[in-house]
Amino acid sequence: MAFACSNCGYRSVKGFGRCPSCGAWDSFAEVGETTASPQEASSWLGEELRPITQIDLTDVKRIPSGSDELDRLLGGGLIPGGVILFGGEPGIGKSTLLLQVAQTLAERIGNVLYVSGEESESQLKLRASRIGVLHERLYVLSEQSLERIAAAVETLSPCALIVDSIQTVVSGSTEGESGSLRQLREASGELIRLTKSRRLVTFLVGHITKDGAFAGPKSVEHLVDVALYLEGSRGEDLRFLRSVKNRFGATDETAVFRMTAEGLKEIVNPSQFFLEGHRDDPRPGCVVVPILEGSKPILVELQALVSPTGGYGVPQRRCTGLDINRVLLLLAVIEKQLAVHIGGADVYLSVAGGLEARERASDLAAVAAIVSSLRNRPIDTKTVVVGEVGLSGEVRAVRRVAERIREAEKMGYARIVVPSVGTPSVKGSIDVIRAESIERALEALGLA
């Protein structure tokens, strides 16, 4: 018998209350024997040994999830035998999105088992009716016992299993309360074994809280094939689904959704969505910047308002969707390098549409918007600006500049101001203006 720490992997012949290696509490769980005695080993004939060239791939077919954006995030669709950890804060929309996926799989493939350890079957039905997800082959089960879930899988032979959430599943053969690391590891391990042996598509929902109680789902991230996290702020209806681990595709991808009464709707063209309301008549203080969400460029409008501080008041500096410390630094750069006095003015900055532009690549656009408002001169509405700004006013290279240029071109923009360093030559209909300093960029924008 052997025990291992779920946090650091420390192995021992006995379990500990607290791991002597990493200090984690209640992290020891029994692990299966992976060793064989010399006698067993010598009698093993090695039938499973085969060269990699003889491994058959014809049965690995991707299954569409019903959401093109989710499929793109997964690298082309769901894979039978794949386990996806689906994390997110409470109330963000995890159950909603997974019910939608369950509906598609029930319609197109076969039985789907949706197990909820948190909600009753009638609660599930209420949500499913609201979002229009009702199908004969979609089975719901309100259950927490790992053994009963496994028995339900045996009976139903589903093509997909959704466990909402993994923190509620308890195994009768393991000590510890539901949600404890030991139970979490045992339940995940068993469900992964079940998934691989029956070639299911399995989603394990994991709750993550704002105060960093990430430890639960994070501790099984290394066991699963894909880890997706649904993010957003509950007051707003936008949701970002990010992939942080993917054994079958690229990571650092993002899909954008909008929460509606009928469920989560994907936003296929985020640039168009976020530029809605961006008017064609030029207004001082407004500029469009291509920011990156994962590896996806999205065009957003950045707005600045600079107005004289009344009386003897303290000048205000406020911003939404940008990093205030970065904005203060940019104001100091403008003041010093352009020799303009901005200390006696209030400065407000905002990203239209509720998106965040905290990337340094939006520096140059922030500088352009501030100077445009200060001088009361608009920037041409067909121009996009991107670049990081250094303390001496130089424009520094940004990541994935070619993709940003292509997105601006795709959205019908005529011109883009980019850093002169690190920008490859891009062929196309868009006019690429390279700037090595903020002075040169402002000159190109007609703000000098």
Ligand X SMILES: Nc1ncnc2c1ncn2[C@@H]1O[C@H](COP(=O)(O)OP(=O)(O)OP(=O)(O)O)[C@@H](O)[C@H]1O
Contacts with ligand X by CB under 6 A lie at 88, 90-96, 207, 234, 259-261
Which does residue 88 touch among Mg ion, ligand X, none (CB within 5 to 8 A, set by kind)?
A: ligand X
Whole-angstrom distance, CA of residue 248 vs CA of residue 243? 11
Whole-angstrom distance, CA of residue 188 vs CA of residue 348? 48
Phi-psi region of 232 (alpha: psi -120 to 50; beta: other; left: phi over 0): left
Its sign, for the CA torsion 133, 121, 141, 260, is positive
Taking a C-beta distance cutoff of 8 angstroms, is the pair 225, 84 a contact?
Answer: yes
Whole-angstrom distance, CA of residue 41 vs CA of residue 343? 78
How far is the CA of 333 from the CAs of 164, 338, 416, 435, 438, in angstroms? 50, 8, 22, 16, 9
Q: Which residue is nearest to Mg ion (CB)?
A: 95
Stretch that binds Mg ion, among 55-63, 95-103, 243-251, 358-366 (CB under 5 A): 95-103
Which does residue 423 touch among Mg ion, ligand X, none (CB within 5 to 8 A, set by kind)?
A: none
Which does residue 261 touch among ligand X, Mg ion, none (CB within 5 to 8 A, set by kind)?
A: ligand X
Q: Which is nearer to Mg ion, 259 or 389 (CB)?
A: 259
Which does residue 242 touch among Mg ion, ligand X, none (CB within 5 to 8 A, set by kind)?
A: none
Stretch that binds Mg ion, among 87-95, 368-376, 387-395, 418-426 (CB under 5 A): 87-95
Whole-angstrom distance, CA of residue 183 vs CA of residue 2? 17
Write b or e for each residue in 188-213: b if 16 or more Cβ atoms lie within 10 A of its Cβ, otherwise e.
bbbbbebbeebebbbbbbbbbeeeee
Whole-angstrom distance, CA of residue 40 vs CA of residue 9? 26
CB of 95 to ligand X, least distance (A): 3
Which does residue 110 touch among ligand X, Mg ion, none (CB within 5 to 8 A, set by kind)?
A: none
CB of 88 to Mg ion, least distance (A): 9
Q: Which is nearer to Mg ion, 95 or 372 (CB)?
A: 95
CB of 353 to Mg ion, least distance (A): 27
CB of 95 to Mg ion, least distance (A): 3
Which does residue 385 touch among Mg ion, ligand X, none (CB within 5 to 8 A, set by kind)?
A: none
Q: Which is nearer to ligand X, 260 or 316 (CB)?
A: 260
3-state secondary structure of 372: helix
Which does residue 82 touch among Mg ion, ligand X, none (CB within 5 to 8 A, set by kind)?
A: none
Q: Which is nearer to ligand X, 101 or 146 (CB)?
A: 101
CB of 236 to Mg ion, least distance (A): 19
Strands (E), 294-410: 296-308, 317-320, 345-351, 383-385, 388-389, 395-396
Q: Which is nearer to Mg ion, 95 or 174 (CB)?
A: 95
CB of 196 to ligand X, least distance (A): 26
According to the 3-state scheme, what is the secondary structure of 283-304? CCCEEEEEEEECCEEEEEEEEE
Q: Which is nearer to ligand X, 92 or 191 (CB)?
A: 92
CB of 53 to ligand X, least distance (A): 44
Q: Which is nearer to ligand X, 19 or 230 (CB)?
A: 230
Which does residue 269 touch among ligand X, Mg ion, none (CB within 5 to 8 A, set by kind)?
A: none
Sorted by sequence, the CB contacts under 8 Å of residue 83 that are 6+ apart come out as 191, 192, 195, 202, 204, 223, 224, 225, 226
Q: Which is nearer to ligand X, 28 or 114 (CB)?
A: 114
Which does residue 393 touch among Mg ion, ligand X, none (CB within 5 to 8 A, set by kind)?
A: none
How far is the CA of 422 from the CAs of 387, 404, 432, in angstroms? 10, 13, 13
Q: Which is nearer to ligand X, 257 or 413 (CB)?
A: 257
Determine if 95 is a binding residue for Mg ion (CB under 5 A). Answer: yes
Which does residue 446 touch among ligand X, Mg ion, none (CB within 5 to 8 A, set by kind)?
A: none
Q: Which is nearer to ligand X, 185 or 207 (CB)?
A: 207
As a dihedral over the C-alpha atoms of residue 175, residue 176, residue 177, residue 183, rounded to 10 degrees, the angle is -80
Instruction: Give the residues across from 241 on adjacent strands.
Output: 230, 255
CB of 84 to ligand X, least distance (A): 15
CB of 330 to ligand X, least distance (A): 35
CB of 265 to ligand X, least distance (A): 11
Stretch that binds Mg ion, among 94-102, 211-219, 224-232, 285-293 (CB under 5 A): 94-102
Kindly tell me the number of DSSP H helices and DSSP E strands found in the chain: 12, 21
How far is the CA of 18 from the CAs of 5, 6, 68, 158, in angstroms? 9, 11, 45, 39
